[in-house]
Amino acid sequence: MMRTVDEMRTDFPRIVTAPPGPKAAAVIARDKAVVSPSYTRPYPLVAERGEGAIVHDVDGNRFLDMSAGIAVVASGHCHPRVVKAIRQQASRLIHMSGTDYYYENMVALAEKLARVAPGNAPRRVYFGNSGTEAVEAALKMARYHTGRDKFIAFLGGFHGRTMGSLSLTASKSVQRKGFGPLVPGVTHIPYAYCYRCAYGKSPDTCAVECVKVIEEQLVKTILPAEELAAIVLEPVQGEGGYIVPPQKFFDELRRVAEKLGVLIIADEVQSGMGRTGRMWASEHFGLTPDIMAVAKGIASGLPLGATIARAELMQWKPGAHASTFGGNPVAVEASLATLELLEGGLVENAASVGAHMMNRLREWPARYARVGEVRGLGLMIGIEFVKDQATRERDAALRDRVSQLAFERGVLVLGAGQNSIRLSPPLVVTRDQADYALDVLEECLRQAVA
């Protein structure tokens, strides 16, 4: 008997029971009773195991994961090299609290991150457990070092959900509603979202008004430069819609920051660790951040965050900042293995598979009237859906419908911003898998608008 492609290709999806199947439905019913309802689950995937870019659910379905667990499993699900590192470390030492004692692999990882961070200045590294903690440490360090208490952040930015990072986050109002008052001293300004420029300009002719506003208005009116500690940005906005600013945004940012003597904090939590086809998104633009927040892909799924700063900025006193679990030895070992894999070819793979995907996707706005813009770097790609290309009216319902249909066909994608789909597969994704995912998305889009 002939076998079908999805039976033969274990690197492609295979749906045998329409999800949620009976086992998935049972887990979801239990979840509803006891797990925080604040989590946003766009569709009922109940994961059981994974390898590479493939995730299996509890009912025997196989999915192609174009979201990498929200841009986390950089080296794919359960990469054997990472699993081995975790196993070996777990049998040696699981915890000793790097805040109070020493262990060698924490030093090795700090050395490594300091070496691969953009720029040549000596660096120091603070370890936490998550993106939000990496951002909190960056905020505290900037205040501590400068003696200033104010920050500029960007609309559409997402920096985490603890009180400090939430004060920077300006992605969706549901993330802030009911939690105030937040940390004072943060001013939000429009990001370089050129498709929807807040100043009505186009990237070719604009004067980077979105940065000029700092120098020409803010510091002259509500934000004295002597009180401004740092400008915080995602070099490529993630949750906001996978938005890539033009080079001149970064040039202007550096000029203004230097002139005003303020720090630049780059939140590379989502854009870092090779996702954009270089180790850091900042590198695409020649940006050397003073402080960088890193997490997500750093340990291929184990909880770890890092705040990397110029050594002279990280001069705080013992006891000033720490976290019991930060830099846990098992997470650190997973991170060392991840970095080895990234440098051993995965960053390159992100660049080449990402370029291949963009070559296809670039044509979509011409081919599909409901695709407004496609943008991205490496394997950080956003597809923005609109009701009409001329008015650019957002089409959130179409985005949701396409994501849902893709799920039913075995391809996992997540939304970003109000009306975009983000493609952020593991960096091990192959060209074949990427093509498969794009074929499915095209079919789903055609079906959704039919």
Ligand X SMILES: Cc1ncc(COP(=O)(O)O)c(C=O)c1O
| Non-local CB neighbours of 207 within 8 Å, separated by 6+ positions | 201
**Rounded least distance, CB 316 to ligand X, Å:** 21
3-state secondary structure 6-55: HHHCCCCCECCCCCCCHHHHHHHHHHHHHCCCCCCCCCCCCEEEEEECEE
Q: Are 29 and 72 in contact (CB under 8 A)?
A: no
Of 42-50, 262-270, 346-354, 366-374, the window that binds ligand X (rule: CB under 6 A) is 262-270
Q: Which of 209, 267, 290, 373 binds ligand X (CB under 6 A)?
A: 267
Structure tokens at 395: 């089409």
* 130 sits near ligand X (criterion: CB under 6 A): yes
CA distances from residue 152 to 10, 226, 237 in whole angstroms, order as listed: 47, 13, 15
* 159 sits near ligand X (criterion: CB under 6 A): yes
Among residues 239 and 395, whose Cβ is nearest to ligand X? 239
Among residues 269 and 398, whose Cβ is nearest to ligand X? 269
Phi (first) and psi of residue 153, to 5 degrees: -135, 175
- Paired sense of beta strands 305-310 and 123-128, if any: antiparallel
Q: Which of 156, 238, 274, 329 binds ligand X (CB under 6 A)?
A: 238
Residue with tokens 């230097």: 258
Nearest residue (beta carbon) to ligand X: 131
Of 130-138, 142-150, 193-201, 353-361, the window that binds ligand X (rule: CB under 6 A) is 130-138
Among residues 267 and 373, whose Cβ is nearest to ligand X? 267
**Rounded least distance, CB 157 to ligand X, Å:** 7
Q: Are 275 and 378 in contact (CB under 8 A)?
A: yes
**Rounded least distance, CB 131 to ligand X, Å:** 2
* 158 sits near ligand X (criterion: CB under 6 A): yes
* 132 sits near ligand X (criterion: CB under 6 A): yes
* 270 sits near ligand X (criterion: CB under 6 A): yes
Among residues 263 and 265, whose Cβ is nearest to ligand X? 265
Among residues 79 and 159, whose Cβ is nearest to ligand X? 159
Ranges of beta strands (E only) in 94-133 are 123-128
Which residue pairs, CB below 8 angstroms and at least 24 apart, start in 176-185? 183/139, 185/149, 185/150, 185/151, 185/227
Q: Which of residues 133-152 bind ligand X (CB under 6 A)?
A: 135
C-alpha to C-alpha distance for 182 and 160, rounded to whole angstroms: 13
Phi (first) and psi of residue 265, to 5 degrees: -105, 120
Total residues at the site for ligand X (CB under 6 A)? Answer: 14
* 160 sits near ligand X (criterion: CB under 6 A): yes
Q: What is the DSSP letter of 392?
A: -
Binding positions for ligand X, rule: CB under 6 A: 130-132, 135, 158-160, 234, 238-239, 267, 269-270, 295
